[in-house]
Chain A
Amino acid sequence: MKRLITAGVALGLVVTLGACSNMITTPSEESRSAVAEWKGKSRVELANQMGQPKEAVPMTDTGGEMLYYSYEGHHYVFETDPQGNITSAVQTR
């Protein structure tokens, strides 16, 4: 039980820190709407503009991918569907 409590407290701290760091670096409304224009476009178009993602994780259940980008000083997360079309586009920093 002690282990569980310790792990829970540690996790709570990590989550709180994470949430705080996210709040500090929330991008502006303007840049969020700009990145949203990528929705519906192809991952190939994305690669043509932003190059290689820093991380690409295939999604076993959906058949799509999570693509993590750093581009021109900003950070983005894109999710694609099985056809390679972008279904969500978010600027994180």
Chain B
Amino acid sequence: MKRGKYRFLIAAFLGAMSLALGTSGTARAQSATPMLKLYVDPVTGQVFTRPGKGRSLLTEVPVTTLDANAIERRVEQKTQTQLDANKQQIQQLVQKNAELTQSNADLSRQVAEIKPAWRSYIDNFQDKFRIGTLVYADWRLYTHTGFQPQELTQIMNPGPQNNIFNSFDITRTYLNFYFFPTEGLTARITPNIYQQVGNGTNVTVGNNTQWNSNLNGNLGFRLKYAYLQYNKIFDWTRLEALKGNTITGGQQPNPLIAWEEDLWGFRYVTLVPWNYYSLSSTQVGVSFQGPIKFNERQYIDYDLGVYNNASFHATEQTNTAQYMNRISVYPLGAKWRFDGLGLTWFFDYGYTNAAPSTQGGAPFGPRAAQAHIMRQAFLTHYTAENWGVIFEYDWGHNAFTTGNAFSGAGPITTGPQSANPYFNFSQMSTAFLNNGRNPNNGYALMGHYHIPHTPFTAFGLWSLWHPNTDIQNNPLDFQRWVVGVQWQVNEYLRLAIDNQNVNYYHNQHDVSFAYVDSITPGIFKKPGAGQVVDAVPVDTHSIFLNLEFSY
């Protein structure tokens, strides 16, 4: 009974305690959480979960804190927090990246809108230059060869007694480089091939060596044009009539030859009169040119300038200069460049290209070596859309020497007559043409007609030339005539077949040494009763097939 009594008391005490604790709040509930007691041995520093000898209580840890799920939850919570932070950071980076992309786009747009000078230059590069070419080629056959001027640049024939001579030739290969750096300014550079003629002399090198000359007739390149042209030179005047007039400096076409080649239109077939006689097409100098227009009609076309006395393929030696002008008047008003009736005057005054100290050789002396040269041309021309005709009167002074008369083929100039059957003829020609006081004149008629509804155009040229009008019955007087038909294959290619002739039209006759000596004293040392026998050269006749390619 006693034992049961104690049990009852203990149970009552515990029940009372439980009741008391159950009403004592949260703190008490926490204090009721099972605790893990940890003990430490101060000597060894070991931690134990159970008490023991020499151990003292280190701490009490709530068992709940050691719950795996709770730990996992805390880890998850921490990880989630980190992930959220990372996500936010990524979002910030994405946003920043988007801002940078937008910024780059803005910058690119701004750069594109800036359009610097080089950009403009590149965008319009194709408009800044042009490269073109102009090629002349031919095949020619001479039924009769003889002494004569060249029909085309640097083509020759082997002279008398070489009939049926024939040859393929390339007489022009322009590479036209045009550059237009700014509005109104044009730069032109045109290299051209030409036929080199000459054997040259071998070159001695040192004491024991010699190099052979390689001047063997190669086609060589030389500069044909190199000039700057500015077409706003008179814009300051605000005169509409002068709009487009130009100033040109450098190696350039002279006022007459290129213009007349364009007027006639058949330069690839043969040369226009003054070019055939002596005047080069190109000089180095300064010039002004342009049309004068009213109501879009051209009434005057002019070209005037000052140039070297030397042509473009010679070196200047004089202390003077050469003046040229061409003035074309279109009284009815030209709607296009050569339209309708035109009246043209050309004037050229210059000097032989010789240094001032040049004395000249016998029998001429310095007067001939440094003679003035004058050329004039008076042209009346009419051009329609499918035909054109040109009449020309030429007048010159010292404008035709043996170098011109025999540029295509000429006599050997060294004697004596027994060794060279043309020696006396050569002496006579020299006396008549190189004496420094020979007046020249001539006439020419040129024209063309386009045959309707065909690609063919008929053309022709006739000229009469008196190399020295002071000479009676001059055996060197000649006519030149050219007739042919052109086929316009396409806009780049023209072909022509033509017949070219030089007729020394006087009847064959002898010329006395005495007469020749009266023109140039001393040319024959002992004139006596000597004669230049058969003084009239033989005619030349040839057939040409010409080609022009222009691009």
Q: State whether the Cβ of A55 lies closer than 8 Å to any Cβ in chain B.
A: yes
B 120-144 contacts with A by CB, 8 A:
127, 130, 132, 134
A 38-93 contacts with B by CB, 8 A:
47, 52-63, 65-68, 75-77, 79, 82-84, 88, 90, 92-93
Task: Name the residue on B nearest A85 (C-beta).
Answer: B127
Q: Considering the chains assembled together, what is the distance between the CA atoms of A11 and B342 in angstroms?
A: 12
Task: Name the residue on B nearest A12 (C-beta).
Answer: B380
Q: Considering the chains assembled together, what is the distance between the CA atoms of A65 and B385 in angstroms?
A: 14
Chain B residues whose C-beta falls within 8 Å of the C-beta of A4 in the assembled complex = 393, 443
Decide if B262 touches A60 in the complex (CB within 8 Å): yes
Size band of the B side of the interface? 35 or more
Q: How far is the CB of B506 from chain A (nearest CB, A)?
A: 15
Q: Considering the chains assembled together, what is the distance between the CA atoms of A77 and B298 in angstroms?
A: 15
Task: Name the one of B186, B337, B491 contacting A82, with C-beta atoms under 8 angstroms.
Answer: B186
CB-CB under 8 A for A54 and B384, given A63-B176, A79-B337, A82-B186? no
Size of interface on A: residues with Cβ below 8 Å to B? 39
Beta-carbon contacts of B470-488 to A below 8 Å, as 1s and 0s?
0000000000000000001
Task: Name the one of B130, B134, B380, B387 contacting A84, with C-beta atoms under 8 angstroms.
Answer: B130
Decide if A67 touches B382 in the complex (CB within 8 Å): no
Chain B residues whose C-beta falls within 8 Å of the C-beta of A84 in the assembled complex = 130
Chain B residues whose C-beta falls within 8 Å of the C-beta of A34 in the assembled complex = none
CB-CB under 8 A for A11 and B391, given A19-B340, A58-B550? yes
- Secondary structure type dominating chain B contacts: strand
Q: State whether the Cβ of B335 lies closer than 8 Å to any Cβ in chain A.
A: yes
Decide if A7 touches B386 in the complex (CB within 8 Å): no
Decide if B492 touches A56 in the complex (CB within 8 Å): yes
Q: State whether the Cβ of B389 lies closer than 8 Å to any Cβ in chain A.
A: yes
Chain A residues whose C-beta falls within 8 Å of the C-beta of B259 in the assembled complex = 61
Q: A3-B443, A18-B340 are in contact. List 14 more A-B contacts (CB 8 A).
A: A11-B391, A22-B340, A47-B491, A55-B457, A56-B550, A61-B261, A66-B336, A68-B386, A68-B450, A75-B386, A82-B188, A90-B339, A92-B384, A92-B385
Residues of A participating in the B interface, judged by any CB pair closer than 8 Å: 3-4, 7-8, 11, 14-15, 18-19, 21-22, 47, 52-63, 65-68, 75-77, 79, 82-84, 88, 90, 92-93
Q: Which A-B residue pairs are the 8 nearest by beta carbons? A: A61-B258, A92-B385, A58-B550, A60-B258, A61-B253, A56-B491, A57-B265, A15-B382
Q: List 22 A-B contacts (CB under 8 A).
A: A3-B464, A4-B443, A11-B389, A15-B389, A19-B340, A22-B340, A52-B490, A56-B491, A56-B550, A58-B550, A60-B134, A60-B258, A61-B258, A61-B261, A63-B188, A75-B385, A79-B336, A83-B180, A88-B336, A90-B336, A92-B384, A92-B385
Residues of B participating in the A interface, judged by any CB pair closer than 8 Å: 127, 130, 132, 134, 176, 178, 180, 186, 188, 253, 258-259, 261-262, 265, 267, 281, 332, 335-341, 380, 382, 384-387, 389, 391, 393, 443, 445, 450, 455, 457, 464, 488, 490-492, 494, 548, 550
